[in-house]
Amino acid sequence: MIFKINTLSLYCGLKIGFRKMSAKNSNSLLVTAAALCAALYATGCYATAYIPSPWGFGQFRPAVVIPALFGIVFGPIPSALGAAMGTLIADSAKHGSLHMGSLIAAVPGNFVGFYIFGQILKKKFSWGRFITASLTTLVLGNAIVAFFYVFFYRALFLQALPFSVEALTMVSFGLTIYWFATMLPFMLLATPLLLRLVTIAMPGIVSEEIRASCLKTELPKRSFLLATVIPGALLLLLGLATSLTPLKDFTMNAARLSSTLLIELTYYCTGLVLTVMGVAVQIKK
């Protein structure tokens, strides 16, 4: 239901925002694109802002497909600025005031991640490059957010975690893995659908190269398989390690949790989803 609402909002917003824009006023188009990306991303992030990660902080965020879409269509600057502003707006709205954690961690992480995403696809668009850009952005962007949030915000600013480098690193990696694993299915499945919707509804704002790739080619099965099955298998192994080895106690102590059950379930569920996704696309005719 949330995804349907966000898709409808994205379509309506793009239709209204770019109806009167043309290639002659490209600066105005980029400013409008960044502002609209921020508004839509903030709305999408806020819709899932109250679904926390099993680490006790950090949220479920499928709305990453919005700045990804803007990065493909309009390039790195509107995508990066829209993602940075949108996440700050959503986090601040949730907390009722300017959220320092978002300013310290989420803003730079989203900006860098989606700037790189747009740069990878700026010179030449293809579905293979899209998969590469998605993996790069989700690893690097989420790592920046996680490590900045854990080390600089929670440990130093709030002093809410023990300042043990090993423990903080463990929590940072765990949060990075959670975001990567929960965002990747939406990036690889929902973004192409949204891009095709925009290409069909508003072909004037999409380049000829993107239109050709979007409407005439499909995601490369081998690349898609590797991008989903390998992370899926690693997540399943990580779940087993957390369940059966001393990693369980270390995780529990590092994150100050009474149980790692939710973390283990997250590893198993996301690993299974990614693996099934890759195999299903591979065998689909």
Q: What is the mean pLDDT of each run of 10 residues along the chain (285 residues)?
A: 48 52 63 95 96 92 97 95 97 94 96 97 91 97 96 84 82 96 96 93 86 84 94 97 95 89 96 94 76
pLDDT for position 123 = 81
Q: What is the dihedral of CA 169, 174, 175, 176, to 10 degrees?
A: 90
Q: What is the pTM of this model?
A: 0.89
Q: How far apart are CA 110 and CA 144, in angstroms?
A: 8
Rounded to 5 degrees, φ, ψ at 59 are -125, 160
- CA-derived radius of gyration, the chain: 19
Amino acid at 220: P
pLDDT for position 212 = 85
Spans of all domains in the chain:
2-218, 220-285
Cα 78 from chain centre: 16
Which pair of structure tokens corresponds to residue 142? 């989420």
Cβ pair 220, 131 in contact under 8 A: yes
Q: How far apart are CA 269 and CA 125, in angstroms?
A: 32
Taking alpha carbons only, the member of 196, 178, 150, 206 closest to residue 262 is: 178
pLDDT for position 39 = 97
* Cα–Cα distance list, 230 to 227, 237, 273, 278 (Å): 6, 11, 12, 9
Cβ pair 49, 94 in contact under 8 A: yes
CATH 1.10.1760.20 correct for 2-218:
yes
pLDDT for position 107 = 97
- Tell me which residue has tokens 């700050």: 88
- Tell me which residue has tokens 């973004």: 191
**Residue 52 β-bridge partners:** 59
